[in-house]
């Protein structure tokens, strides 16, 4: 485990550096916001496009893989929702808490870290996890919150979801990359080099941006945040492991990547949604902060266990 910890340490050290830079005001919140924007719209999109364009669609999409991840994730999603209802909170807050329990920081942390740690063969499974999170679960929270407020489901909700997906640069870059791969569209040398240089900024930029965002997070509603962090860091990878290894016939390496991705801390985009809809942003903030700190140990442990067979 020590060897894996030493490999993951530089990634979390970059997160710590970003946290320090913003906490000491060396980086202002505005500067951190623009860095995040650069990573989200340019560097990470370039990386995702390159990965997707170089992978056969059959290597990215696998029915057993998708079913295993969905079953494992929906199990934890339902557990978090039931616990929320037992605490007598409404549908909107329950949806946000369930989102915390299953949506990991796959884009900013998982893609750069797991591809480096597990090799480029991990790109396909990681992209599949990211796509499921963005398409299925990000749509689900919008549907639940909007439907709860309107008191019914409507075409307007589906339109909102569709526009949101179309505007997401991670979805667009992966889709364009897969189209290039599917139709065997050659990427010219200068374009490939441009994407390579730009994409190389994604790993340090994304990790620094995660740390910078944590500097503004608060640890309010700690007891709930600890429960949600436990659900994300422990229950989620366990449920996904059971689904992938015992229920569905998922390739062992792909299953290992999927479980590692499930072990990632709560994603920052859950906070963006919670803040946008005005539903429990402090609770999400605390969950992101606590789960990211604890994940230094838990993510290392999960990867070490999986690499040990």
Q: Provide DSSP, 44-109.
A: HHHHHHHHHHTS-HHHH--HHHHHHHHHHHHHHHHHHHHHHHHTT--HHHHHHHHHHHH-B-IIII
- Rounded to whole angstroms, the Cα distance separating 287 from 193 reads 39
Q: Residue 4: which pLDDT band, with cuts at 50, 70 and 90?
A: confident
The reported pLDDT for the residue numbered 291 is 94
| Paired strand residues for 104 | 266
Q: 51-55, 159-163, 187-191 — which is least confidently predicted? A: 159-163
As a whole number, mean pLDDT of residues 285-301 equals 93
> Structure pTM?
0.88
DSSP 8-state code for residue 187: P
Q: Residue 274: which pLDDT band, with cuts at 50, 70 and 90?
A: confident
Q: Residue 18: which pLDDT band, with cuts at 50, 70 and 90?
A: very high
Distances in whole angstroms, Cα of residue 26 to Cα of each of 12, 112, 122, 264? 19, 25, 35, 28
Return mean pLDDT, the chain.
Answer: 89
Q: Residue 181: which pLDDT band, with cuts at 50, 70 and 90?
A: confident
Residue with the two structure tokens 């719209």: 41
Distances in whole angstroms, Cα of residue 232 to Cα of each of 54, 97, 130, 236? 31, 10, 15, 5
The angle, 0 to 180 degrees and rounded to 10, between the axes of the packed helices 252-262 and 123-132 is 50
Break the chain into its structural domains and give their ranges.
2-307
Of all residues in the chain, the percent with pLDDT exceeding 70 is 95
pLDDT, tens digit, 9 for 90 and up, residues 79-110: 999 999 999 999 999 999 999 999 999 988 98
Q: Residue 219: which pLDDT band, with cuts at 50, 70 and 90?
A: low
pLDDT, tens digit, 9 for 90 and up, residues 122-166: 989 999 999 999 889 988 888 888 877 766 656 666 777 777 778
Residues 6+ apart with CB under 8 A from 172: 45, 166
HSE (side-chain half, CA atoms, 13 Å) at 263: 23
When mean pLDDT is compared over 74-78, 159-163, 210-214, the highest value belongs to 74-78
Given 3.40.50.620, 3.20.20.190, 1.10.10.350, 1.20.1530.20, which CATH number is that of 2-307?
1.20.1530.20
Which tokens is 296 given?
């230094």
The reported pLDDT for the residue numbered 130 is 92
- Rounded to whole angstroms, the Cα distance separating 33 from 79 reads 34
The reported pLDDT for the residue numbered 150 is 66
């Amino acid at each position: 485990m020590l060897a894996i910890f030493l490999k993951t340490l530089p990634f979390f050290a970059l997160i710590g550096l970003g946290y320090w830079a913003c906490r000491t005001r060396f980086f202002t919140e505005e500067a951190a916001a623009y860095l995040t924007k650069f990573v989200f719209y340019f560097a990470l999109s370039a990386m995702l496009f390159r990965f997707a364009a170089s992978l056969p669609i059959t290597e990215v999409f696998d029915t057993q893989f998708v079913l295993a991840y969905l079953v494992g994730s929906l199990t934890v999603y339902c557990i978090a929702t039931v616990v929320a209802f037992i605490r007598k909170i409404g549908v909107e807050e329950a949806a946000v808490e369930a989102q915390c329990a299953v949506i990991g920081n796959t884009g900013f942390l998982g893609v750069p870290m797991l591809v480096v740690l597990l090799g480029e063969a991990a790109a396909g499974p990681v992209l599949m996890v990211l796509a499921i999170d963005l398409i299925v679960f990000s749509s689900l929270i919008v549907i639940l919150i909007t439907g709860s407020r309107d008191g019914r489901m409507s075409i307007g909700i589906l339109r909102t979801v569709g526009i949101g997906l179309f505007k997401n640069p991670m979805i667009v870059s992966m889709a364009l990359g897969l189209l290039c791969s599917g139709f065997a569209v050659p990427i010219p040398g200068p374009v490939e080099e441009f994407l390579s240089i730009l994409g190389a900024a994604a790993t340090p930029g994304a990790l620094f941006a995660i740390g910078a965002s944590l500097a503004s997070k608060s640890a309010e509603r700690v007891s709930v945040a600890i429960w949600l962090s436990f659900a994300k860091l422990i229950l989620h990878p366990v449920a996904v492991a059971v689904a992938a290894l015992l229920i569905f016939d998922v390739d062992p390496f792909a299953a290992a990547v999927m479980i590692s991705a499930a072990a990632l801390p709560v994603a920052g985009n859950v906070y963006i949604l919670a803040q946008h809809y005005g539903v429990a942003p402090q609770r999400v903030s605390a969950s992101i902060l606590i789960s990211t700190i604890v994940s230094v140990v838990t993510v290392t442990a999960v990867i070490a266990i999986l690499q040990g067979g």
